[in-house]
Structure 1
Amino acid sequence: MLDPVIAFFERIFHAIGRGIGLVIAALLWPFVTMAGWYRRRGFILKAVVGGIIVLFAGLYGYFFWQSQIWSGFDPEYPAKREMIASTPGTATGNGTCAPSAMVSVTSDLIDFNVNQNAWTSSMILYKTGFFGIDWDHTPFFDNKAAFQRGVNQAIRRTTVEFVDTLGRVRGTSQVDGDLQDARGAMQFDEYTWYFGLNPFGPKTPTPSFYRSAIDDLQAFNDRLSTCNAIYDARADNLIQFLDRIASDVGSTSAILRDRSENFNAGWFDTRADDRFWFSYGQLYGYYGILKATREDFRDVVAQRNLGQLWDEMDGQLSSALKIQPFIISNGNESGWIMPTHLATMGFYVLRFRSKLVEIRGILDR
């Protein structure tokens, strides 16, 4: 009685096994063919081809290592900074003035991105992708790149404010040269390698520009420490900075919402991870920058009694940075099997933005 049933399942499993074998054979066919061709070649050609293979193996090994190792990553890094006792630019005695914590943290974040870690987005093997497919469109090796670009977004926003408002008096004095150079360097394209096609020819890679911004920011802080630079820590400048950040993270929230609502394929959404880690990196950058902003604008924060609200905002950012899932899932919000990490991150982004708006409203009264 059971023989036909057993035979049926045997045929099914046999067909599945044969299908898997055909898939594996198809995947291995190019390598088997290449190995056969290689064995029939002469010594010189073998040496050349072997050298190329070794070179690519080394490049891919370096790329895979750099994309997985996050040196210096610490979500609580702002709490480990030393507090500055005075508002930037105010005299501290012996002919010196207080430097800017915002400038220092911004410089440290750039150093974290391009010196403590390799800048992944401009690496040649990141640009070539996975058999021609952009790494951002795969589930592999793009999390660190997206995170770095998120941190970089916060840095870019901050360097613009340094030039437009904070490094000059009421926006009417001369633009500070060091801050202007830093802003220009940080606006450089995030994907440039040593060579490009448009325009064709050798290029200065992205990390070199960002490293130059570190020198420019440090030069400004050195001049500020010797009372030879301007830092205008007024309430209206703080309002404008918070407005710009709120607009920046509001755009990120819209991107998360769109992806969460329209592409909820759970663990199979290959773009969910880079959306998540970009927003995570953005919050990571703003967490340190806003901690430093509170130090630079200590007088304004004290006069408007913003200490408790600022603490709450810091707490929300700290909570958001504790979300570090091993695999990013973009599940349906009403689903019960696959998590919805994008919606969760979007919730924290909106909480952070609402607190920014609340602080800004108090400052504007």
Structure 2
Amino acid sequence: MDNLNNDGNGGEPVAGKKGGILASKRFILIVVITLILLWLVWTILGFLEDRSARKAAKPTVVATEETTAAPKVKTPGHLPPNNGKTVARDTRVAPSKSTTSTETQPPKVAVPTHAPVLDVGKGTAFVTACMEPLAYELNERFWGWRPNDILNVTDNVNNLQLGILEVTRRTSVVLAEHLSRTGSTDAYVPSLESAMNCFMINSRQYWFPTAESKYNEGLDEMKNYIRMLKNGEARFYRRVDNLVPLFRAFESMLGSCDENLVKNQGDLSTFKADDYFYYSKGVAHAMETILEATAEDFSDLIASIQGTDVLHHAITALGHAANMDPWIVFEGSPDGFIANHRSNMAAHISHARFYLGVLNSALTGNIQ
């Protein structure tokens, strides 16, 4: 009896465990079935919603097809017939021949502007060219420097020398302030600063000191700078942004000459007209010499902006102006029988000014 009771008591826990497991399985099954039903309902609703959206959009499509009938396209013989089906046409637009491809554009040349370009010995040609015209007028021309003479009987040579002096002054300023320095915070080269100041003395200074003595002193200071360049004691910075002040100064001078050569055409006396003529001739002579040296010392930088031919045209125009040497400078009317030599000179000066302006635009366009 005890055994039966024990067996009976021991059977109740086993039945309880089985009932709990079955209840858990039923619950899981109910959850799974519920999820499946929800998924089916969601899918059916989505399908019905999609069909209703298509029906709503169908009239618009039909109207479009009726209003824009597609043209009939001939089917090649080797292709099967279309049977009235709409053929999707290629709507891609071929590129226009007039459209310029970016691949055909020439690449921009990277021009060094702010990094110093140092070459030992470079710059000697430029400085020598700056000295030569004035040195000739002071020491080699008969009677030497004439604007400060007490008796002025050769006004043509006087004005030619004044034109050469003005170009030398402007170039010495650019040389002292830009070409020999890394920037505005760099110290002046003492020799160039002294030369610049010597050239600024009045051209008609007769004594204490005389004009020619100060000008020769300035030339000696520039010779000292050349010696320093050769020995590596000084620098000459061949940069694009250093050429801009030089060409701007030259362009400004040529503009002044051009104005004096074209104003009051036919109304000036011959004696006044030849003053403007010979002053412009002196400017052209000195400027031609300096630009030839510029083409030598800055050849690589000028070539990088494709300015070699442009600079050559400017030099050629200045050479034509410098070589004009009429026996008498006539001031005829522009449409008269007698020549107007001021107008003839103005043509060459204007051409040189134009080409220097082109170079300035190219140079300033490459400065970042």
Q: Which runs of 4+ in 1 moved over 3 A?
A: none
Counterpart residue type for residue 135 of structure 2: D
The 1:99–1:225 alpha-carbon spacing in structure 2 relative to 1, beyond 3 Å, is farther
Q: Is it true that 1:122 corresponds to 2:148 in the alignment?
A: yes
TM-aligned CA deviation for residue 89 of structure 1 = 4.8
The 1:261–1:157 alpha-carbon spacing in structure 2 relative to 1, beyond 3 Å, is farther
**Partners of 1:313 and 1:247 in 2: how far apart?**
14
Paired residues for 1:1-365 under 5 Å: 89-91=118-120, 97-117=121-141, 118-126=144-152, 141-194=154-207, 203-260=208-265, 262-263=267-268, 265=269, 269-336=270-337, 338-365=338-365
Counterpart residue type for residue 296 of structure 2: E
If the length of structure 2 is used for normalisation, what is the TM-score?
0.65
The 1:88–1:110 alpha-carbon spacing in structure 2 relative to 1, beyond 3 Å, is farther
Counterpart residue type for residue 280 of structure 1: K
**Partners of 2:257 and 2:198 in 1: how far apart?**
23
Q: Secondary structure at the match of 2:258?
A: helix
Matched-pair contact (CA < 8 Å) for 2:313–2:352 = no
Counterpart residue type for residue 245 of structure 1: F
Counterpart residue type for residue 149 of structure 2: M
**Partners of 1:209 and 1:149 in 2: how far apart?**
15
**Partners of 1:102 and 1:114 in 2: how far apart?**
19
**Identity of paired residues, percent?**
23
Counterpart residue type for residue 169 of structure 1: T
**Partners of 1:346 and 1:281 in 2: how far apart?**
13
Aligned to 1:14: none
TM-aligned CA deviation for residue 112 of structure 1 = 0.6
**Partners of 1:293 and 1:113 in 2: how far apart?**
22
TM-aligned CA deviation for residue 254 of structure 1 = 1.1
* Cα distance per residue 1:208-244 (max 9 Å; x no partner): 0000011100000110111111211110111121111
The 1:146–1:259 alpha-carbon spacing in structure 2 relative to 1, beyond 3 Å, is farther
* Cα distance per residue 1:275-329 (max 9 Å; x no partner): 1000001000000001111122122112112111122222212222232100001
**Partners of 1:341 and 1:301 in 2: how far apart?**
33
Matched-pair contact (CA < 8 Å) for 1:252–1:279 = yes
Q: Which runs of 5+ in 1 are unaligned?
A: 1-86, 92-96, 127-134, 136-140, 195-202
Q: Secondary structure at the match of 1:125?
A: coil
How many residues are treated as equivalent by the alignment? Answer: 248
Q: Which runs of 5+ in 2 are unaligned?
A: 1-115
Q: In angstroms, what is the RMSD of aligned CA positions?
A: 1.7
TM-aligned CA deviation for residue 121 of structure 1 = 0.7
**Partners of 1:156 and 1:333 in 2: how far apart?**
34
Aligned to 1:26: none
If the length of structure 1 is used for normalisation, what is the TM-score?
0.65
Matched-pair contact (CA < 8 Å) for 1:121–1:145 = yes
TM-aligned CA deviation for residue 99 of structure 1 = 4.3
Counterpart residue type for residue 292 of structure 2: K
* Cα distance per residue 1:238-271 (max 9 Å; x no partner): 11211111011101111122243542x5xxx211
**Partners of 1:307 and 1:270 in 2: how far apart?**
39
